[in-house]
Amino acid sequence: MSAKSEQLRKVIGFYRVSSYVTGIFLLLLMITWGIRRLPFLGFDLWLLGPNGFITFESYGVEGEGLPDVGVNLTVWILIVHGWLYVVYLLADFRMWTLLRWPFTRFLFIALGGIVPLLSFYTEARYAKVAKAELEKLERGA
């Protein structure tokens, strides 16, 4: 097995994991954002607040009335997804550079971290394409 095929195998695994984790956090983000923004709801998910272990706290007008203690899980899900998206982009970039794919494919895969459910599709499709190219590389080497 060549060094390039071993590197590519690791990158595909890294991409697959980052796709799932980023996709899950994007779904969590959309759910918590919806709970906050829908007019009849207007709550943030709160951890270790004054009202219990995990509770919904009224968001009010631009966050007025949120507790002073505990952790705002809605905000933390947003922050964690942002950093996971950076990792997802890095995995996308590594696959793109190693496989010398067109830039449009890089952009389409990158959309997977910001369009709900798309990361699951891109993972299934392009991990399969990458594995096929890896097998082709290994047969030719």
Task: Give DSSP secondary structure letters for 76-112.
Answer: HHHHHHHHHHHHHHHHHHHHHHHHT--HHHHHHHHHT
Q: Kindly give the confidence (pLDDT) of every residue in the chain, 141 residues in length, as a single tens digit, with 9 standing for 90 and above.
A: 688 899 999 999 999 999 999 999 999 999 999 998 887 788 999 999 999 999 999 987 778 889 999 999 999 999 999 999 999 999 999 999 999 999 999 999 999 999 999 999 999 999 999 999 999 988 885
Whole-structure pTM value = 0.90
